[in-house]
Amino acid sequence: MPQSEDKMYTPEEFEQAIGQKPSMLSGGRLHGFREGWALVGFGKAHHFTRCEDDISLAETKCGLFARVKGLFGAGSWDKCKRCQRKVDGG
């Protein structure tokens, strides 16, 4: 039986493929990330900005740090309320 390549789905494509909305789904590993909502492992998605003095790190609006190469798209994960308030101007 021939092997097929693994297809990377966006959250919207995955939802359409399985015929229902998944409860939590990441958007996949991020490449060329600068700023935006992202996920590190499990938990809530945070709003990250790449650090100017160390481009391998990103900082969240709520004060966390993570390695850029470990970030995944936020997908359908819940968002950090502290980050959301700061993004919204609060």
Task: List the domain boundaries for the chain.
Answer: 26-87
Predicted TM-score of the model (pTM): 0.70
Q: In the chain, where does DSSP find H-type helix?
A: 11-18, 81-87
3-state secondary structure of 44: coil
Residue pair 58/33 in contact by the 8 Å Cβ criterion: yes
In this prediction, residue 90 carries a pLDDT of 76
In this prediction, residue 16 carries a pLDDT of 76
Average pLDDT for residues 11-15, to the nearest whole number? 71
